[in-house]
Amino acid sequence: MIDGSAGEKVVASLKDIAPDFSNYLLEYPFGDIYARPNLDLRSREIATIAALTAMGNAQPQLKVHIEAALNVGVKPEEIIEVMMQMSVYAGFPAALNGLNVTKQVFQERQIVLSNK
């Protein structure tokens, strides 16, 4: 899975409470949607992190998809741009909270930005 160990943790966390939901997660979003042609994975992850940043109520999933975006080749600087752009559509708090999650991921992965 493109979201690697983070995705596996989600599946594991559901084992005791809703194992069927893991199957739906693997079937619908991953099996059906992300496997479709017509849109490259890079663009798909950009769309997802934009949406989750704008919605602002799904920080664990935003973290998973910042990881996934990096895994499919979205550059760290591009992720930052998406977050900043969300200030226009969902307000500065949404952008700030998204940047804060991004910062955590970058620190865990020891990513240093060139524009620092």
- For the chain, the first-to-last Cα distance in angstroms comes to 31
Nearer to a second copy, 4 or 92 (CB): 92
Angle (nearest 5°) at CA 41 between 38 and 43 = 80
Span 30-49, contacts to a second copy by CB under 8 A: 32-34, 36, 38-39, 42-44, 46-49
For residue 51, which amino acid is it?
A
**20 near a second copy, rule: CB under 8 A:** yes
- Count of CB atoms within 10 A of residue 4's CB? 13
**Residue whose entry in the numeric block shows the structure tokens 């949406």:** 51
- Count of CB atoms within 10 A of residue 63's CB? 19
Q: Name which position in 4, 28, 73, 108 contacts a second copy (CB under 8 A).
A: 28
Closest CB 37 distance from a second copy, rounded Å = 9
**4 near a second copy, rule: CB under 8 A:** no
**95 near a second copy, rule: CB under 8 A:** yes
- The C-alpha R_g of the chain, in whole angstroms, comes to 14
The binding site for a second copy (CB under 8 A) comprises 10, 13-14, 16-21, 24-25, 27-29, 32-34, 36, 38-39, 42-44, 46-58, 60-61, 75, 77-78, 80-97, 99-100, 102-103, 106, 113, 115-116
